[in-house]
């Protein structure tokens, strides 16, 4: 199976949100990426349950929910009920990360952990076997349209090597500045799911851009 593309609706036109959701439904995209920001963990506020409920009502593909919030534990069950298939929390926001991962699994969702650009992947060694996915942030979280951080390739390579022994089925997702110019190199480094926002929604044809990202050279990856 080819690598997966997860358009971030943070970059969609919220005046025409249903239109953009239906575009993703009919495209070659695989997941909807949902960025939830609280204005505390990151210096921005995005959207909450009302918007997520709208996306769920119209989406025909899995919801990949990325929580950029403090105290994510208190909302895990609510996000699961709102249709999340994957819930990703930040390593930097969780005091008891193992407990949080257990709660995500108990809610019936895949569990992911996100790492900010400055956070080494080696800090996940003791919990990597319990995770379904690790999200490598290739920009500082909080805003779309930022410049890609080049050290991301090295982080993905190190994470892939770490997972080879501890969790060979680990999904590696990358978010931030993903576009046609770097997706092949990111995939070669070991990433398997690609979040793209600005590069999709500022394109002349967003659906064609999704297709272009989806059909870049691909190896063997199953999920």
Beta bridge partners of 115: 136
173 burial via Cβ count (<10 Å: 0-12, 13-18, 19+) = buried
- Residue 95 has what DSSP assignment? S
CA 216 to CA 191: how far, in whole Å?
A: 13
Active site residues: 35, 175
Instruction: Report how far apart, in Å, the C-alpha atoms of 11 and of each of 5, 123, 209, 214, 219 are.
Output: 15, 31, 14, 18, 28
CB of 32 closer than 8 Å to CB of 64:
yes
């Amino acid at each position: 199976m080819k690598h997966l593309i997860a358009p971030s609706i943070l970059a969609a036109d919220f005046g025409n949100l249903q239109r953009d959701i239906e575009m993703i439904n009919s495209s070659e995209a695989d997941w909807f990426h949902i960025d939830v920001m609280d204005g505390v963990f990151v210096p921005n506020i995005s959207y909450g349950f009302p918007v997520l409920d709208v996306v769920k009502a119209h989406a025909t593909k899995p919801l990949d929910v990325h929580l950029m919030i403090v105290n994510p534990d208190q909302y895990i069950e609510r996000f699961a009920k709102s249709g999340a298939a994957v819930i990703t929390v930040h390593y930097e926001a969780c005091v008891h990360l193992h407990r949080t991962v257990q709660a995500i699994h108990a809610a019936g969702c895949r569990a992911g952990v996100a790492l900010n650009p400055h956070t080494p992947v080696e800090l996940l060694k003791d919990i990597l076997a319990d995770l379904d996915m690790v999200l490598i942030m290739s920009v500082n979280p909080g805003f779309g349209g930022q410049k890609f951080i080049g050290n991301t390739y090295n982080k993905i390579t190190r994470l892939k090597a770490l997972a080879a022994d501890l969790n060979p089925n680990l999904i590696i997702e990358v978010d931030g500045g993903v576009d046609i110019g770097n997706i092949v190199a990111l995939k070669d480094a070991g990433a398997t799911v690609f979040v793209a926002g600005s590069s999709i929604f500022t394109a002349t044809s967003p659906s064609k851009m999704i297709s272009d990202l989806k059909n870049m050279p691909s190896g063997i990856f199953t999920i």
